Amino acid sequence: MLFNSYIFILGFLPVCLLVASGLARLPNRGPYLWWLVISSVIFYSWQDIRLTSLFLVSIAFNYVVAARLVRPESGYRFQILTLAVIANLLFIGYFKYLGFFASSANLALGTHWDVGKIVLPLGISFYTFQQIAYLVDAWRGEVTEHKLVNYCLFVAFFPQLIAGPIVHHRDVLAQFSSRTRFRLNAADIGVGMTMFTIGLFKKVVLADGIAPFASIVFGLARDGGELNGSVAWIGAVAYSLQLYFDFSGYSDMALGLGRLFSIRLPINFDSPYKAVNIVDFWRRWHITLSDFLRDYLYIPLGGNRHGTARRYANLMATMLLGGLWHGAGWTFVIWGGLHGLFLVMNHGWDSIFKTRLCSTGVANWRVWFGRVVTFVAVTSAWVFFRAENTTVALKLLGAMYGFPGTSAEISDALWNKLRDAPGCIAACMVIVWLLPNTQQLMGRVRPALRYRYRPDSVSWEGRLARLLQWRPASAAAVWYGGMFVVALCSFSRVSEFIYFNF
């Protein structure tokens, strides 16, 4: 079930809220929690009920293992953890990577292994990694409460189930255990619906609106058409913006839906295209994945504790695996490797010049220079993320950077299809670079876990954010109500979120 669908907005969500509002009045919070679990399983099952059994088996298996790991007196805890992590990796490896490994082996060894068509379960990367982190923390003694209903809801809570954020148990289990948390109120519903509306508008109006330009250019490169630099850059930047608003929209909707049920989820997206370097970018893009890779991969590999060379090797290994996490293909591995290289270059620059560009305390032109350079680097890497194969990616990059043999005259028919692209791209860049993000707009009401934004009154960004910040007033209701209507009227076709594929 998609957030941007009539069945979800006009059917599933109202029914879920209506029943929850009645159960919230009971003295025992158990029925309320189980209702959210059942609703989440229905939500997951909507698109393909055949895969629900795999999802439930994964939850049951990891719950039983964690029940053993949370007991310090249990024997063989490390061995049990190791076997459980291997089992989870084999689970995701079969469904997500077996075909990729088989095709790669066939290409390298000349074999003919055929694994057949394997259907990828929705959200498998998110709920599997979330549970692996839980098992590791249970083994470390950091899980203090392990109840079936809380665990099921921790994994299955539908706002974050399919595409994140990757929720850590310490972020939500305490909220599930609170006896005062589950009392639906008008304030949370107002905040939640506002954030959901902003995210919905980003997805169906902005992301889906600019997506055709990217599809035209990438399709042209795939089909062997001629490209020039202008067209290639239009396609690359259009996809960069499509992905930005698509993921940003989902993140806003996830936070808003959680808030409807008085649950604060962690922030996962914080204006990454305002980043002034690639380290800053990864502190803003897919924040919970960055935290997971740091805590459960980079630091266990040794982090920065064993010298510069080892640190850079750990960065590269982490980003290569992060790329493979996003998709089973060499294009994703190359994308992760590029970001690993960018991070190594960034840290190398910092170590040589003993300085790091940040967004405060430096000249304005340096901030914007850093933003532009970072955006160009990130957009260039996104070409591999979007392209069907490396040949398509290299052809597009060749046209973008004027490699010999990639310049061509573009037909009038193609320009007619792309004539609105420059204006749309410019408008989207204004939103991305100059306007406050959703968390800043909602900063007065603490829209995400451990997040509150107080704009300053000195900078123009702060003054603009202060002016536009959300307040429970009639004007805000009319404005965001209008956005909601426009978004509903833009449901011209079913459009999945890009991160649903991961």
Predicted local distance difference test score (pLDDT) of residue 428: 96
The percent of residues above 90 in pLDDT, for the chain, comes to 53
> Phi and psi (nearest 5°) for 284?
-120, -25
Residue 181 has pLDDT above 60, yes or no: no
Instruction: Say if residue 360's pLDDT is above 60.
Output: no
Q: How confident is the model at residue 404 (pLDDT cuts 50, 70, 90)?
A: low
Q: Which residue has the tokens 């024997």?
A: 75
Q: What is the pTM of this model?
A: 0.91
pLDDT of 88 reads 94
Give which of 41, 17, 440, 34 is closest to 188, Cα–Cα: 17
Over residues 218-232, the mean pLDDT reads 88
Cβ–Cβ under 8 Å, residues 298 and 318: yes
Q: Which of 109, 4, 121 is nearest to 51 (CA)?
A: 121
- Whole-number pLDDT of residue 177: 73
Q: Across the strands, what pairs with 449?
A: 266
Please, are residues 28 and 35 in contact by the beta-carbon 8 Å criterion? no
Res 397: pLDDT:
93
Span 377-397, mean pLDDT?
Answer: 94
Give the model confidence (pLDDT) of 251-306 as tens digits. Answer: 999 999 999 998 899 999 999 999 999 999 999 999 999 998 998 889 988 888 88
Q: What proportion of the chain, given as a percentage, has pLDDT over 70? A: 95
- Confidence category of residue 498, pLDDT binned at 50, 70, 90: confident
Write out the catalytic residue numbers.
326
Alpha helices by DSSP H, listed for 265-363, are 278-282, 287-293, 308-326, 330-353
Interacting residues of 331 by C-beta distance below 8 A, sequence separation 6+: 384, 385, 387, 388, 389, 390, 393
At 183, the pLDDT band (50, 70, 90 cuts) reads low
Look up residue 76 and give its two tokens: 């063989």
Mean per-residue pLDDT over the chain, rounded: 88
The predicted pLDDT at position 361 comes to: 52
pLDDT value of position 15: 95
- Between these two residues, 440 and 144, which has the higher pLDDT value? 440
Q: Which of 310, 190, 170, 169 is nearest to 262 (CA)?
A: 190
pLDDT, tens only, 34-91: 999 999 999 999 877 888 999 999 999 999 999 999 988 878 889 999 999 999 999 9
**Long-range contacts, 112-120 (Cβ 8 Å, 24+):** 118/94, 119/48, 119/50, 119/51, 119/95, 120/95, 120/96, 120/501
The predicted model gives 234-253 an average pLDDT of 95
Burial class (CB in 10 A: 0-12, 13-18, 19+), 267: buried
Of 126-135, 343-352, 492-501, give the lowest mean pLDDT range: 492-501
Domain boundaries, the chain: 6-184
Question: Could you tell me if 129 and 58 are in contact, meaning their C-beta atoms sit under 8 angstroms apart?
Answer: no
The residue type of 34 is W
Is 500 a residue whose pLDDT tops 80? no
pLDDT confidence of residue 408: 64
**Looking at residue 354, what is its pLDDT?**
61
pLDDT at 206 > cutoff 70: yes
pLDDT greater than 60 at residue 215: yes
CB 428 within 8 A of CB 249: no
| Rounded Cα gap, residues 81 and 169, in angstroms | 17
- What's the pLDDT score for residue 493? 67
